[in-house]
Structure 1
Amino acid sequence: MWQGVYPAVSAKFTEAGELDHQEMERCFARQIEAGVDGLIVNGSLGEGPMLSHDERLEVLSLAQGVAGRRPVLMTIADASTRDCASLASRAAKAGASGLMVVPSLVYHTNAKETVATLSAVAAAADLPVMIYSNRIAYRVDVTVEIMSELAADPRFVAIKESSDDIRRATDIINAFGDRYDVFTGVDNLAYEALAVGAVGWVAGLVIAFPEETVAIYRLMKAKRYDEALAIYRWFRPLLDLDVSSYLVQNLKLVEALVTGTTERVRAPRLPLEGEARARVEAIVREALATRPLLSKAA
């Protein structure tokens, strides 16, 4: 159902800490102009759990206004199943193309609870669902066995595979064929995942480098692996910044340095400073100095 590059777009804030609608529209439009295939709002990078439900719906509306006919997925991530289902229902009424659902943010659900939560959210919205499997950040592993239990429900159409085990993509494809659209959700495993059959990339560094991200994806789909690998190797130091407890601050700083946007985050997060900031700045300087020329054919 879904494939391609889906940026997990970042939220923008004014100096007063409110949503910066104009700047989000500008940044989202840059993604669309670069050729991404859809947008995902209010995820980890979008600081969704730090936003109220009303704010998350505002971000959804802004993205829909920019995306045109491209899908816009709403991330559902709250502490309780009740709140997740409530937001999912509101997102459906607001015209979301689908949902990306985190099984549990705070409480680490067991397999039975994970199935029950995901099923309740899917039923509340009656929209296509991308399951977000991230045992590293959220301590809940949506295993192949759990995916098997969910496979009877046609609303579950995709998996954002972020287990940090590249073998998992092959396990899913071996178990289900094309039943689920497999997306990689780990930036610095994207080449590897696409090489073994993933059909999509929920990307982070795309917010600063959309052209390069789209080029890698398109080259991989065209089986022009050497050309894709050359870009990917250049990109890797940046992509590694996505795999961090400070991924939001890391990527927002990169985006600000490259595109001139803001790096404001919502508390309790604070912008990077000191050695952490200097490290990111050095990586960006090197990347910009060695940025590859992209083939028009990509």
Structure 2
Amino acid sequence: MSKLFEGVFPAITTPFNADGSVDHAFLREHAQWMMRSGCKGMVPLGSLGEGNTLDHAEKLAVLDTLVGALGGAPVVPGIASLSTHGAVKLAQDAQAAGCQGLMVLPPYVYSSDWREMKAHVSAVIAATDLPVILYNNPLAYRTDFLTPQILELAAEHPNLRGVKESSADVRRVTALKATLPPQVELLVGVDDALVEGVQAGATGWIAGLVNAFPAESVELFELTRAGKLEDAARLYHWFLPLLRMDTVTKFVQLIKFVQQEVGHGSAHVRPPRLELSAEEASAAREVLQTALDTRPASAV
């Protein structure tokens, strides 16, 4: 069976103008720039995309811009809401907008037991016939989809076609790889576990720092997938201080700051997030400058 989500899929940031509105012109340019570097599609409206700060109309406008910008390449939006009803409506509207897949998150704020979480994600998965990636991020969302539960969902929903595993536990990836049916793909969801995740069996990467370093991200993924581990290790060692920015509380602010510093984006975020303090920005700039000064010859 062909793979739908193989390769690097940016968790694309949502660019904002100084007045807080979405910068659609840059959003289009940014997505096309990353696609030219070898990315396979875009994943908007997730955690990094600040989806929880956008209203429904803004989300649909983002999807319209990206579907138009990508010329047929997959747009796979994050689907999350305070309510199951809201998530179902967003899923259906995303399909109507031309999206080619969905990434389903647990509900914002409320998290409980498996019975309730299964009812929620099942309703969203069944809302369309689009292929779905289940997003497991227990640290962020306080809901942990365990391997037997994912298998239960896969058995009941043929359009569940991927799992974005962000527990940062490589053993979880190997367990899923050993037990999931072949139509359900595994995707790495934390930047600083990319090589380990691919070596454990993941075939896709929903990436964060790709927003500032798309060519390097694609190169790292492809070297690892090809088994060129010495070259991958050299590039990974260089990249890791930046990739670790994806795993801390202010990952959105940090990644947007790096985008701004490399000349491809702005640091604007929406409250309750605030831009980095002067001290935080100075520390991030130091990490970035070291990376720029020591970029290995194999990195593009």
1:128 aligned residue: 131
* Residues in 2 aligned to 1:21 and 1:104: alpha-carbon distance in whole angstroms: 27
State the TM-score, normalizing by the size of structure 1. Answer: 0.96
2:265 aligned residue: 261
> Which structure 2 segments of 5+ residues have no match?
none
* Residues in 2 aligned to 1:280 and 1:197: alpha-carbon distance in whole angstroms: 32
Q: Deviations over 1:35-68 (max 9, x none)?
A: 1011101111111110011111111111112222
Which of 56, 66, 70 is matched with 1:67 structurally?
A: 70
1:1-298 mapped onto 2 (5 Å cutoff): 1-152=4-155, 153-294=157-298
* Residues in 2 aligned to 1:46 and 1:260: alpha-carbon distance in whole angstroms: 16
CA contact (8 A) 1:136 1:164 kept: no
CA contact (8 A) 1:215 1:294 kept: no
CA contact (8 A) 1:115 1:149 kept: no
* Residues in 1 aligned to 2:228 and 2:246: alpha-carbon distance in whole angstroms: 25
After TM superposition, give the deviation of residue 295 of structure 1 in Å: 6.5
Higher deviation after alignment, 234-243 or 117-126: 117-126
After TM superposition, give the deviation of residue 290 of structure 1 in Å: 1.0
* Residues in 2 aligned to 1:196 and 1:162: alpha-carbon distance in whole angstroms: 14
> Which structure 1 segments of 5+ residues have no match?
none
CA contact (8 A) 2:235 2:299 kept: no
Point out 4+ residue stretches in structure 1 off by more than 6 angstroms.
Answer: none
Paired residue total: 296
* Residues in 1 aligned to 2:87 and 2:163: alpha-carbon distance in whole angstroms: 18
Identity %: 39
After TM superposition, give the deviation of residue 293 of structure 1 in Å: 2.7
